[in-house]
Amino acid sequence: MSAREEILGKIYAQSEINHPGDFQGASEDFDFKAALEVVGARVLTAEALEIEFPGRRRYEKILDGLSLAEVEVLEIDGEFGVAENGAIWLTEEALPHRVAPFICQHLVINVSKIVPNMHAAYAELNKPNSSFGLFLAGPSKTADIEQSLVIGAHGARSLTVVIRA
């Protein structure tokens, strides 16, 4: 007998318990900029961005993620931001490569739409799925040494967010 049959055979149908449905009554009063600050991202105006990162680049779609290993500052577009936690939804379709937001040294994301919370975020995502997508909140970080927060573990060392109208 295969493991699949063995496992499924051991799972007995249990008394019916209904799915509770979508969560109701979630808070909506959140400040996206404040959340970005909490997760360690910086918010810049479009003008300030020009001064700060004149050498930033956008990249075309590529198949070889390794070719992005030397990218210093990458600029990408996020689909929307989530006010409750500063996360930004990114999809493979809008990225040069899946690894792009991780492998670059510094990341700049443009956001023009903000939803209040994660429930609203998934309602927004209730469209055809991307082959890969992620919520990204702030720069890569770790606190694995004595719980001291260090920014720039493996992914981008900094995240700059530009909120465009």
* HEC letters along 28-45: CCCCHHHHHHHCCCEECC
Report the nearest approach of another protein to the CB of residue 32 (Å).
11
Please identify which residue in 55, 60, 63, 165 interacts with another protein, judged by CB under 8 A. Answer: 63
Q: Name residues whose C-beta falls within 8 Å of residue 27's C-beta, 6 or more positions apart in sequence.
A: 84, 116, 117
Give the amino acid at 132: F
Q: Is 140 in the site for another protein (CB under 8 A)?
A: yes
Give, as ranges, the residues between 40 and 59 that touch another protein (CB under 8 A). none
Q: Is 31 in the site for another protein (CB under 8 A)?
A: no
Please identify which residue in 49, 137, 161, 163 interacts with another protein, judged by CB under 8 A. Answer: 137
Nearer to another protein, 46 or 122 (CB): 122
Site size for another protein (CB under 8 A) = 74
* HEC letters along 53-99: CCCCECCCCCCCHHHHCCCCEEEEECCEEECCCCCEEEEHHHCCCCC
Distance CA 86, CA 160 (A): 12
Q: Is 20 in the site for another protein (CB under 8 A)?
A: yes
Please identify which residue in 47, 51, 60, 144 interacts with another protein, judged by CB under 8 A. Answer: 144
Give, as ranges, the residues between 78 and 117 that touch another protein (CB under 8 A). 82, 84-87, 92, 97-99, 102-103, 117
